[in-house]
Amino acid sequence: MPEMSNIIAFGLIALGMVLTPGPNMIYLISRSICQGRLAGLISLGGVALGFVFYMLCAAFGITALVMAVPFAYDALRFGGAIYLLYLAWQAVRPGGRSPFEVRDLPTDGPRKLFMVGFLTNLLNPKIAVMYLSLLPQFIDPAQGSVLLQSLALGFTQILISVTVNAVIAIAAGSIAAFLIGHPTWLVVQRWLMATILTGLAVRMVTEARR
């Protein structure tokens, strides 16, 4: 098992990343506002399955192939940074929208909600970077089985992410109503989201290969 200090440190990073607006948050908020809390929670089930997929890949060493090839790692890193900058621009561009703004979406059944949630997380560069570049830094072979340490850290991240996203999905309607009634806060939220996304993108680009 990893040291408790490593679990806590990794958990704090996972918390910071889940609170950073991204594809998962935007999709869950949109579904919760347009189709209700239950739809948001069903979508969250798909997102959780995406977390499990990445965790198992990292734990069993499949992603080690990517880490071993500098060009593949750099492609992922720069691709993720470009995507985050795109999301930041979408937030502040003229006519841009906050993820909490109500929008019209077609009504989807439970199966589609689950699958889209899964694919949204699977294609989320932020989650890929977390498991490819961050998780290995908190594993110490001297502490025992690398597999068990990977699973312990992975489940810590999943627990934190699912809990926070569930709260966001349940509260999305209330938050949206508040922001609609307070236009100034809606603008502040958009610029804050863009600033966080840009900062994360810059950090990804300047991060030295570990």
Residues 111-156 pLDDT 10s: 999 998 898 888 776 677 677 666 776 777 777 777 788 888 889 9
* pLDDT value at residue 138: 75
Rounded to the nearest 5 degrees, what angle is found at the Cα of 8, between the Cα atoms of 142 and 23? 115
Predicted local confidence at residue 210, as pLDDT: 45
Nearest in space to 83 (alpha carbons), one of 210, 206, 203, 201: 201
Q: Are 71 and 77 in contact (CB under 8 A)?
A: no
Q: Token pair 């679990």 is at which residue?
A: 7
Residues of the chain with pLDDT under 50: 208-210
In angstroms, what CA-CA distances link 115 with 44, 51, 101, 112? 10, 13, 23, 5
The reported pLDDT for the residue numbered 46 is: 93
Question: How high is the pLDDT of residue 48?
Answer: 93
End-to-end C-alpha distance for the chain, whole angstroms: 22
